[in-house]
Amino acid sequence: SQTIHQWPATLVQPVGSPLSLECTVEGTSNPNLYWYRQAAGRGLQLLFYSVGIGQISSEVPQNLSASRPQDRQFILSSKKLLLSDSGFYLCAWSVSRGPWAGELFFGEGSRLTVL
Amino acid sequence: ELKVEQNPLFLSMQEGKNYTIYCNYSTTSDRLYWYRQDPGKSLESLFVLLSNGAVKQEGRLMASLDTKARLSTLHITAAVHDLSATYFCAVDDSNYQLIWGAGTKLIIKP
Protein backbone atom coordinates (compact mmCIF):
# COMPACT_ATOMS: atom_id res chain seq x y z
CA SER A 1 0.00 0.00 0.00
CA GLN A 2 1.01 3.58 -0.50
CA THR A 3 2.11 5.85 2.31
CA ILE A 4 3.20 9.45 2.52
CA HIS A 5 5.47 10.86 5.16
CA GLN A 6 6.06 14.51 5.90
CA TRP A 7 8.39 16.15 8.39
CA PRO A 8 8.99 17.91 10.61
CA ALA A 9 5.52 17.92 12.16
CA THR A 10 6.01 21.18 14.01
CA LEU A 11 8.56 23.94 13.85
CA VAL A 12 9.00 27.42 15.16
CA GLN A 13 11.34 29.63 13.20
CA PRO A 14 12.45 33.25 13.48
CA VAL A 15 11.78 35.70 10.70
CA GLY A 16 14.56 35.61 8.15
CA SER A 17 15.62 32.04 8.86
CA PRO A 18 15.61 29.29 6.21
CA LEU A 19 13.05 26.55 5.88
CA SER A 20 13.09 23.00 4.62
CA LEU A 21 10.09 20.68 4.71
CA GLU A 22 10.39 17.23 3.27
CA CYS A 23 7.86 14.77 1.95
CA THR A 24 8.33 11.23 0.68
CA VAL A 25 5.89 8.78 -0.84
CA GLU A 26 6.25 5.02 -0.70
CA GLY A 27 4.55 2.24 -2.61
CA THR A 28 3.97 4.02 -5.90
CA SER A 29 6.01 5.36 -8.76
CA ASN A 30 5.82 8.57 -10.77
CA PRO A 31 3.21 10.20 -8.55
CA ASN A 32 2.04 13.76 -8.94
CA LEU A 33 3.17 15.68 -5.87
CA TYR A 34 1.72 18.79 -4.29
CA TRP A 35 2.46 21.33 -1.59
CA TYR A 36 -0.49 23.14 -0.04
CA ARG A 37 -0.67 25.75 2.69
CA GLN A 38 -3.57 26.29 5.04
CA ALA A 39 -3.76 29.42 7.16
CA ALA A 40 -5.50 29.07 10.52
CA GLY A 41 -9.21 28.45 10.05
CA ARG A 42 -8.97 28.82 6.31
CA GLY A 43 -9.08 26.74 3.16
CA LEU A 44 -6.32 25.22 1.09
CA GLN A 45 -3.95 27.15 -1.11
CA LEU A 46 -1.96 25.23 -3.71
CA LEU A 47 1.66 26.34 -3.66
CA PHE A 48 3.47 23.93 -5.98
CA TYR A 49 2.86 20.77 -7.90
CA SER A 50 5.13 18.41 -9.75
CA VAL A 51 4.46 15.80 -12.42
CA GLY A 52 8.00 14.44 -12.48
CA ILE A 53 11.58 14.78 -11.28
CA GLY A 54 12.78 18.33 -11.64
CA GLN A 55 9.38 19.50 -12.96
CA ILE A 56 7.86 22.10 -10.65
CA SER A 57 4.90 24.37 -11.29
CA SER A 58 4.35 27.32 -9.02
CA GLU A 59 0.83 28.52 -8.39
CA VAL A 60 1.51 31.46 -6.13
CA PRO A 61 4.49 33.84 -6.32
CA GLN A 62 6.17 34.03 -2.93
CA ASN A 63 9.48 33.51 -1.22
CA LEU A 64 9.03 29.74 -1.18
CA SER A 65 10.47 27.24 -3.61
CA ALA A 66 10.04 23.54 -4.21
CA SER A 67 12.25 20.82 -5.56
CA ARG A 68 11.81 17.21 -6.56
CA PRO A 69 15.24 15.61 -6.54
CA GLN A 70 13.87 12.06 -6.68
CA ASP A 71 10.70 10.51 -8.02
CA ARG A 72 9.03 10.20 -4.63
CA GLN A 73 10.62 13.10 -2.76
CA PHE A 74 9.28 16.62 -2.62
CA ILE A 75 10.92 19.45 -0.71
CA LEU A 76 9.59 22.87 0.20
CA SER A 77 12.17 25.52 0.99
CA SER A 78 12.66 29.14 1.80
CA LYS A 79 15.83 31.16 2.15
CA LYS A 80 14.26 33.77 4.41
CA LEU A 81 10.97 33.24 6.18
CA LEU A 82 8.36 35.96 6.58
CA LEU A 83 5.73 36.24 9.28
CA SER A 84 3.12 35.57 6.62
CA ASP A 85 4.65 32.16 5.93
CA SER A 86 3.15 30.79 9.13
CA GLY A 87 0.59 28.09 8.52
CA PHE A 88 -0.10 24.42 8.14
CA TYR A 89 1.77 22.92 5.21
CA LEU A 90 0.44 19.81 3.59
CA CYS A 91 2.13 17.54 1.11
CA ALA A 92 -0.06 15.35 -1.06
CA TRP A 93 0.27 12.85 -3.86
CA SER A 94 -1.96 11.44 -6.57
CA VAL A 95 -1.59 8.87 -9.29
CA SER A 96 -0.55 10.52 -12.52
CA ARG A 97 -3.03 8.93 -14.89
CA GLY A 98 -6.12 6.77 -15.08
CA PRO A 99 -9.60 7.08 -13.60
CA TRP A 100 -8.24 7.66 -10.09
CA ALA A 101 -5.92 10.47 -11.08
CA GLY A 102 -6.89 13.60 -9.21
CA GLU A 103 -7.72 12.07 -5.85
CA LEU A 104 -5.21 13.46 -3.39
CA PHE A 105 -3.70 11.66 -0.43
CA PHE A 106 -2.27 13.93 2.20
CA GLY A 107 0.66 13.71 4.57
CA GLU A 108 0.29 14.46 8.24
CA GLY A 109 1.13 18.12 7.79
CA SER A 110 3.81 20.48 9.11
CA ARG A 111 2.77 23.32 11.34
CA LEU A 112 5.08 26.30 10.89
CA THR A 113 5.10 29.29 13.20
CA VAL A 114 7.30 32.21 12.21
CA LEU A 115 8.06 34.63 15.04
CA GLU B 1 -12.26 29.89 -14.29
CA LEU B 2 -13.62 27.12 -12.13
CA LYS B 3 -14.99 28.25 -8.77
CA VAL B 4 -16.30 26.09 -5.99
CA GLU B 5 -18.74 27.28 -3.35
CA GLN B 6 -19.72 25.40 -0.25
CA ASN B 7 -22.57 26.20 2.03
CA PRO B 8 -23.07 26.55 4.79
CA LEU B 9 -19.58 27.46 5.95
CA PHE B 10 -20.50 26.75 9.53
CA LEU B 11 -23.08 24.37 10.88
CA SER B 12 -23.95 23.57 14.45
CA MET B 13 -26.44 20.79 14.92
CA GLN B 14 -27.79 18.39 17.49
CA GLU B 15 -26.99 14.71 17.57
CA GLY B 16 -29.61 12.62 15.86
CA LYS B 17 -30.54 15.26 13.28
CA ASN B 18 -30.12 15.14 9.54
CA TYR B 19 -28.48 17.79 7.47
CA THR B 20 -26.96 18.48 4.07
CA ILE B 21 -23.85 20.34 2.96
CA TYR B 22 -23.91 21.74 -0.56
CA CYS B 23 -21.09 22.15 -3.02
CA ASN B 24 -21.72 24.18 -6.18
CA TYR B 25 -19.20 24.67 -8.92
CA SER B 26 -19.12 27.03 -11.85
CA THR B 27 -17.95 25.10 -14.92
CA THR B 28 -18.26 21.61 -16.30
CA SER B 29 -16.53 18.85 -14.37
CA ASP B 30 -17.35 15.23 -13.71
CA ARG B 31 -14.89 14.59 -10.90
CA LEU B 32 -15.64 15.72 -7.40
CA TYR B 33 -14.09 14.82 -4.08
CA TRP B 34 -15.08 15.16 -0.45
CA TYR B 35 -12.53 15.37 2.34
CA ARG B 36 -12.69 15.51 6.09
CA GLN B 37 -10.33 17.45 8.34
CA ASP B 38 -10.28 17.07 12.11
CA PRO B 39 -8.97 20.05 14.10
CA GLY B 40 -5.20 20.32 13.84
CA LYS B 41 -5.00 17.32 11.54
CA SER B 42 -4.49 16.60 7.89
CA LEU B 43 -7.16 15.86 5.30
CA GLU B 44 -8.71 12.46 4.79
CA SER B 45 -10.39 11.43 1.56
CA LEU B 46 -14.03 10.52 2.08
CA PHE B 47 -15.64 10.14 -1.32
CA VAL B 48 -14.68 10.21 -4.97
CA LEU B 49 -17.54 10.96 -7.35
CA LEU B 50 -16.63 10.38 -10.98
CA SER B 51 -19.84 10.60 -12.97
CA ASN B 52 -23.23 12.20 -13.11
CA GLY B 53 -25.61 10.56 -10.69
CA ALA B 54 -22.83 8.99 -8.65
CA VAL B 55 -23.81 8.23 -5.09
CA LYS B 56 -21.45 6.98 -2.41
CA GLN B 57 -22.27 6.10 1.19
CA GLU B 58 -20.12 5.43 4.21
CA GLY B 59 -21.86 5.03 7.52
CA ARG B 60 -23.94 8.11 8.25
CA LEU B 61 -22.51 10.08 5.33
CA MET B 62 -23.79 9.98 1.79
CA ALA B 63 -22.44 12.00 -1.13
CA SER B 64 -24.01 12.54 -4.52
CA LEU B 65 -23.11 14.34 -7.71
CA ASP B 66 -25.31 16.04 -10.27
CA THR B 67 -23.02 17.27 -13.04
CA LYS B 68 -25.84 18.92 -14.94
CA ALA B 69 -26.73 21.08 -11.96
CA ARG B 70 -23.02 21.35 -11.05
CA LEU B 71 -23.94 20.37 -7.54
CA SER B 72 -22.78 17.83 -5.02
CA THR B 73 -24.34 17.17 -1.66
CA LEU B 74 -22.98 15.57 1.47
CA HIS B 75 -25.85 14.30 3.56
CA ILE B 76 -25.49 13.47 7.22
CA THR B 77 -28.01 11.10 8.72
CA ALA B 78 -28.66 10.94 12.46
CA ALA B 79 -25.53 12.90 13.26
CA VAL B 80 -23.20 11.80 16.02
CA HIS B 81 -20.53 13.81 17.81
CA ASP B 82 -17.71 11.91 16.07
CA LEU B 83 -18.70 13.49 12.78
CA SER B 84 -17.69 16.92 14.04
CA ALA B 85 -15.00 18.14 11.62
CA THR B 86 -14.47 20.45 8.68
CA TYR B 87 -15.63 19.03 5.36
CA PHE B 88 -14.17 20.17 2.06
CA CYS B 89 -15.34 19.51 -1.44
CA ALA B 90 -12.93 19.79 -4.35
CA VAL B 91 -13.57 19.72 -8.07
CA ASP B 92 -11.19 18.56 -10.77
CA ASP B 93 -10.51 21.31 -13.30
CA SER B 94 -10.06 18.67 -16.06
CA ASN B 95 -6.30 18.94 -15.73
CA TYR B 96 -6.09 16.87 -12.54
CA GLN B 97 -5.82 20.03 -10.47
CA LEU B 98 -8.33 20.36 -7.67
CA ILE B 99 -10.24 23.56 -6.99
CA TRP B 100 -11.27 23.63 -3.36
CA GLY B 101 -14.31 24.87 -1.54
CA ALA B 102 -13.78 26.97 1.57
CA GLY B 103 -14.84 24.14 3.86
CA THR B 104 -17.84 23.59 6.12
CA LYS B 105 -17.10 23.48 9.82
CA LEU B 106 -19.55 21.06 11.37
CA ILE B 107 -20.13 20.95 15.11
CA ILE B 108 -22.43 18.27 16.46
CA LYS B 109 -23.65 18.79 19.97
CA PRO B 110 -24.69 15.94 22.25
Distances (CA, A) of B97 to A40, A59, A102, B46, B100: 23, 11, 7, 18, 10
Nearest to A101 among B41, B96, B102 (CB): B96
Nearest by CB to residue B42, choosing from A90, A96, A103, is A90
> pLDDT band at residue B25, thresholds of 50, 70 and 90?
very high
| Alpha carbon distance B20, A56 (integer Å) | 38
Inter-residue contact B87 to B103 (CB < 8 Å)? yes
Q: Is there a contact between B106 and B84 (Cβ–Cβ < 8 Å)?
A: yes
With a cut of 70, say whether residue A106 has pLDDT above it: yes
Tell me the pLDDT tens digit for each residue of B10-24. 999 999 999 999 999
pLDDT tens track for A23-36: 999 999 999 999 99
Reply yes or no on whether the pLDDT at A55 is more than 70. yes
Residue B86 binned pLDDT confidence (cut-offs 50, 70, 90)? very high
Interface test with A, best of B96, B100, B105, B107 (most A CBs within 10 A): B96
Residue-level pLDDT at B96: 64
Q: How far apart are the C-alpha atoms of B101 and B109, rounded to whole Å?
A: 24
Is residue A89's pLDDT more than 70? yes
Residue among B35, B36, B30 nearest B52 (CA):
B30
pLDDT in tens, B38-83: 999 999 999 999 888 889 999 999 999 999 999 999 999 999 999 9
**Nearest alpha-carbon partner for A75 in A17, A1, A8:** A8
Whether the pLDDT of residue A98 is over 90: the answer is no
Of A40, A102, A12, A14, which is closest to residue B37 (Cα–Cα)? A40
Strands B4-7 and B98-100: unpaired
**Chain B from 19 to 48: CB within 8 A of any A CB:** 31, 33, 40-45, 48
CA distances, B75 to each of A29, B5, B59 (Å): 35, 16, 11
Provide the number of CB pairs (under 8 Å) joining chain A to chain B.
44
Share above pLDDT 70 across residues of chain A, in percent, rounded to a whole number: 97
